[in-house]
Amino acid sequence: MNQLRELKLDIRGPLLVWLRLMDSSSLKGGLLCASGPSSPYHLLYLLSLMCHLKTFLTLVAVVFSFMTARAQPTKTLTGRLLGEDLDGVPRADICARDTTVIGTTDLKGYFKIDVPVNTSTLIFRYVGLEWTTVNLSEECSNFEVILLSRPTYDFMSIRRVNRQRLKQFKNLPQLYQEAYEKGLVKSPVPCASPIFTK
């Protein structure tokens, strides 16, 4: 009599396929064998192979992209992050355009980061302060950025909130001039231009 055997195949993690094999001779050398080219066993075996191949190709793509990223020329950016009170902002995140964190400020708000040469935009963020996006000019390697405070806007429409934020944003040049007069920034005109984002 044929023996009923239960075989559990793990295909891509949580997807479990249970097969009932009528004959123990269906397993030869750890491979699924069945008669006929359109057998479900062949199909499942091919699916299993495709999953392993997909994992391997993903790994190759990740390694290749990492090597390509490492091969790109970089430049060093230095500067300081200030709050609206003109004090340094400690442990703030510095992000690339896709919000990937690429650095943080020190306890006094200073930073030094390496970025690809073609980097033209950075995002600075800190809890309780407005996220600030800046455009960098090509010759910009040392710059200061001022983060505005983020008040709580209760029971206000988005349009009214954006009007308030824009009004606050327009005060940035005066703040920057004040910081320059106090010797907190090195240049009277910032080479990193902040962008108002809604």
Ramachandran quadrant class, 84 (left: phi over 0; alpha: psi -120 to 50; beta: rest): alpha
Neighbours of 72 (CB within 10 A): 10
The whole-number average pLDDT for the span 110-133 is: 93
Mean pLDDT of the chain: 77
3-state secondary structure 43-76: HHHHHHHHHHHHHHHHHHHHHHHHHHHHHCCEEE
Give me the pLDDT at residue 33, please. 41
- Single pTM value for the model: 0.61
Which amino acid belongs to residue 76? T
Could you read off the pLDDT of 68-115 as tens digits, one per residue? 556 678 899 999 999 999 999 999 999 988 788 999 999 999 999 999
Domain ranges for the chain, please list them: 5-70, 74-195
Q: Decide if pLDDT at 181 tops 80.
A: yes
pLDDT in tens, 26-75: 444 444 444 444 556 666 666 676 777 777 778 767 666 666 556 678 89
**What pLDDT is stored for residue 152 in this prediction?**
78
CATH number, domain 74-195: 2.60.40.1120
